[in-house]
Amino acid sequence: MTVQTVAHLNFSGQARAALDFYASVFGGQVVAVTYGDAGMPRDLPGADLVVFGQVVGADGFSVMAYDVPGRPPAAPGTATPRARRENGTTLTDEPFFLSVRGGTVEEVQELWDRLVVGAAVIEAYGPSAWAPASGMLTDRFGVTWILDVAAPYAG
């Protein structure tokens, strides 16, 4: 048996835009099936929203998303960070962050530069105590990401 874990993000009318954005950042193919595609009458409100969506990249990146039915579309604008820095420590009550690890500072810097557009930066990308470089942000869709360069644990 093979098991794979994939983050599944819930949106309020922004799933397609988020999937397109993540594909532009990380690469990969977007698949987006609307409620209308799945049988909802196309003239009903919400038929154009995403019931199943995903981005799958050749390098292993994968994320799923959909628009929660019955939830009104979210207001557009810059995301508000749900995490904050206090006395050098990141504090949050969020149930999860998405973590992306790369092999080099330059590789992860390229991802950071694309993902940070419209984001609220919590920790700027740069050298850290546990990695050659890391950073934390809440993207324009309200998802908090930690990007870092993989490094062996130094004990």
Q: Going residue by residue through the chain (155 aa), what tens digit of pLDDT does each one get?
A: 788 889 999 999 999 999 999 999 999 999 999 999 999 899 988 899 999 999 999 989 999 999 998 876 665 544 555 666 666 666 665 667 899 999 999 999 999 999 999 999 999 999 998 899 999 999 999 999 999 999 876 66
Q: Per CATH, which fold does 7-67 belong to?
A: 3.30.720
* Topology given in CATH for the domain delimited by 83-149: 3.30.720
Asked if 13 contacts 147 with a C-beta cutoff of 8 angstroms, the reply is no
**Whole-structure pTM value:** 0.84
The confidence score (pLDDT) of residue 3 equals 87
Predicted pLDDT at 69:
85
**Two domains, one topology: 7-67 and 83-149:** yes
Domain extents in the chain: 7-67, 83-149
3-state secondary structure the chain: CCCCCCEEEEECCCHHHHHHHHHHHHCCEEEEEECCCCCCCCCCCCCCCEEEEEEECCCCCEEEEEECCCCCCCCCCCCCCCEEEECCEEEECCCCCEEEEECCHHHHHHHHHHHCCCCEEEEEEECCCCCCCEEEEECCCCCEEEEEECCCCCC
